């Protein structure tokens, strides 16, 4: 029999970060009723304050709660098959390429990542009984377009499925989605409490709450514990340098411990990028949107979105 300690007994992560196992387990066991309180009619949340007025039942784009400025989750999900087709097409081109075309491989990798994102988002926000992304916090914390952008939903989806691993092992006192929205809301409330209203950016919190500089260290440690139990501790570690994409026809899958109670396999729940890489992607998207707005303002035209900006830059090159 192996003398190697169980992951649950370790007090440090493979990356060298300290894991306060007992403190993390105590946080995870927090009962739902200790955090959440509903209105008298049971239709909306009263507590925590960051969920005040949010409907309990999942909203749709026909709901009275819906804002017309919000991006459509349904429209995003409908794009998945197109991305699947693009992935297949560029895989075919890479397989036929004899010139080792790096741009072609990068394009294939980009569509491969998008497909991975789509699958995760569909899994969490369509197939699982999670509320709509815009029910994460109350409207006053949401950006004008809501939270249905690819990177934001992917970050949320990865967090939910990582905590589902812990829930399947009987470690959680509430549903994974509720735990995630509670901790994200707490960071937002803490920022307001210390007088940083300009820093109350929920997308920023979503992006960074799992990082090494997380404002909720126990939340990050819980993610590290989940990753360790799945045998993928590197996901929340430093970004690795990526080389050229090779052998796209063979995608190696590694399997972590199977969740208890017939839950989803850990392999299916696995995310494909490190947190640092995803944060870099989110920052790049933010810079492109800022550049797009500036370019449109200089030309005296309305903002046409980052895709229009990218198209123009490509056409001009």
Cα dist. 57→43, 123, 171, 176, 237 in Å? Answer: 7, 19, 25, 16, 36
Please list the residues that pair with 18 across neighbouring strands.
12
Which DSSP symbol is given to 170? T
Q: What is the Cα–Cα distance from 99 to 255, expressed in whole angstroms?
A: 34
pTM of the entire structure? Answer: 0.72
Where are the chain's structural domains? 7-273, 275-317
Q: What is the Cα–Cα distance from 266 to 99, expressed in whole angstroms?
A: 37
Which residue, among 166, 85, 178, has the nearest Cα to 131 in the 3D structure? 178
Q: Tens-of-pLDDT digits for all 317 residues of the chain?
A: 444 445 555 566 666 678 899 999 999 999 999 999 999 999 999 999 999 999 999 999 999 999 999 999 999 999 999 999 999 999 999 999 999 999 999 999 999 999 999 999 999 999 998 899 999 999 999 999 999 999 999 999 999 999 999 999 999 999 999 999 999 999 999 998 887 655 679 999 999 999 999 999 999 999 999 999 998 876 665 554 444 444 444 333 232 333 333 333 333 343 445 555 555 555 555 555 556 556 655 655 443 443 443 344 444 44
């Amino acid at each position: 029999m192996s003398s190697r300690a169980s992951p649950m007994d370790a007090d440090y992560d493979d990356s060298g970060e300290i894991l306060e196992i007992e403190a993390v387990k105590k946080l995870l066991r927090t009962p739902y009723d200790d955090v959440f309180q509903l209105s008298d009619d049971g239709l909306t949340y009263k507590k925590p304050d960051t969920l005040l007025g949010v409907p309990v039942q999942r909203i749709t784009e026909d709901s009275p709660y819906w804002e017309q400025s919000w991006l459509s989750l349904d429209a995003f999900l409908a794009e998945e098959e197109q991305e699947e087709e693009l992935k297949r097409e560029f895989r075919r081109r890479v397989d036929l390429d004899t010139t080792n075309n790096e741009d072609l491989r990068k394009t294939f990798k980009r569509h491969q990542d998008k497909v991975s994102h789509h699958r995760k988002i569909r899994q969490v926000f369509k197939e699982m009984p999670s509320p709509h992304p815009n029910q994460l916090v109350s409207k006053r914390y949401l950006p004008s377009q809501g939270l249905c952008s690819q990177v934001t939903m992917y970050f949320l989806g990865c967090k939910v499925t990582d905590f589902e691993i812990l829930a399947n092992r009987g470690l959680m006192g509430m549903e994974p989605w509720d735990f995630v929205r509670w901790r994200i809301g707490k960071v937002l409330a803490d920022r307001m409490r210390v007088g940083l209203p300009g820093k109350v950016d929920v997308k920023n919190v979503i992006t960074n709450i799992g990082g090494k500089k997380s404002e909720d260290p126990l939340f990050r440690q819980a993610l590290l514990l989940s990753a360790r139990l799945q045998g993928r501790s590197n996901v929340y570690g430093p970004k690795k340098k990526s080389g050229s994409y090779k052998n796209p026809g063979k995608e190696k899958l590694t399997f972590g411990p199977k969740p208890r109670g017939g839950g989803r396999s850990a392999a299916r729940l696995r995310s494909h990028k490190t947190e640092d890489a995803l944060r870099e992607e989110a920052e790049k998207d933010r810079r492109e949107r800022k550049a797009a707005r500036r370019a449109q303002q200089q030309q005296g035209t309305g903002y046409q979105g980052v895709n229009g900006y990218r198209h123009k830059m490509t056409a001009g090159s």
